[in-house]
Amino acid sequence: MADARLQTFLAALAVRPLVMGILNLTPDSFSDGGRFEGLGAARAQAAYLAEGGADILDVGAESTRPGHTPVPLEAEWARLAPVLAPLVAATPLPFSIDTYKAEIARRALAAGISVVNDIWGLQRDPAMADVVAEAQAGVVIMHNRETMDRQIDIVEDMLRFFERSLAVADRAGVQRDRVLLDPGVGFGKSGAQNLSALKATDRLKSVFGLPVLIGVSRKRLFGEMLGLSVDERLIATIAANLTTLARGANVFRVHDAAEHRAALKVFEAITNA
């Protein structure tokens, strides 16, 4: 079942921009922590995102916001186990699992998840690439840094990081046509570096020839830039996503699916007029 959904996702990816709806099962996410814990709330939010036009749903059970407290593997799985299989059964969309732990990814893929969204780009858990390859799953390789360094050229750092990640993926047998790249806005970057990373969307496309996923929904970047609270950052999020769409981005990881689907529809209508 997961493979059929993955094929649907990959086919759509080749022809139009896609919306990835965020479904947090965490008590401490920066935007909606604690709101969707439990099967009932998670199922309702999944249905809401699907009705709003999401193409894929990204489920996570560990917050990775700045300053987060790491969650042990079994605690993370305890949040996911009661929810994943019923969600997959109730929702026809493909799902991705937001985790950097190979064992969580393995269990999630067995429950019907189609894509692994790894914030450490296959470089944190040495078993992750093998898990993805064995399941013939999709994978989002995100750029990340242990520490922020304002002096480095963040774009060159991203290029070197992705080269290492793709080498890991190739050695494990991960299929290139199932790989997406994510510049990792908000992860180990200053505000200026976040902007440079977004501006480099077209460079990532030209260097690697792979789809690019953008995850800027409601992020601190907009609070610092515009003085907006988390709940006031939708317009800024859409503006950033449309800017990167014009530079070749393919998938947008967002909390607000319906609003982004409308914005993408207008963008496409003008582009294709």
Q: Which of 121, 135, 137 is nearest to 6 (CA)?
A: 137
Rounded to 10°, the helix 102-110/128-135 angle is 20
Is 219 noted as a catalytic residue in this protein? yes
**3-class secondary structure, 71:** coil
**Pair of tokens at residue 162:** 């992705």
Please compute Rg for the chain using Cα positions: 17
**Residue 150: Cβ within 10 Å count:** 10
210 Cβ neighbours under 8 A, 6+ residues apart = 176, 179, 180, 181, 204
CB 261 within 8 A of CB 50: no
| Burial tier of 192 (Cβ tally within 10 Å: 0-12, 13-18, 19+) | exposed
Q: What is the DSSP letter of 70?
A: P
Is 189 noted as a catalytic residue in this protein? no
Q: Which of 236, 234, 240, 226 is nearest to 258 (CA)?
A: 234
267 Cβ neighbours under 8 A, 6+ residues apart = 17, 242, 245, 246
> 106, 107, 189, 219: which is the annotated catalytic residue?
219
CB 16 within 8 A of CB 55: no
Indicate if the alpha-carbon torsion angle 191, 29, 162, 182 is positive or negative. Answer: negative
> 101, 178, 218, 253: which is the annotated catalytic residue?
253
Which positions are catalytic?
219, 253
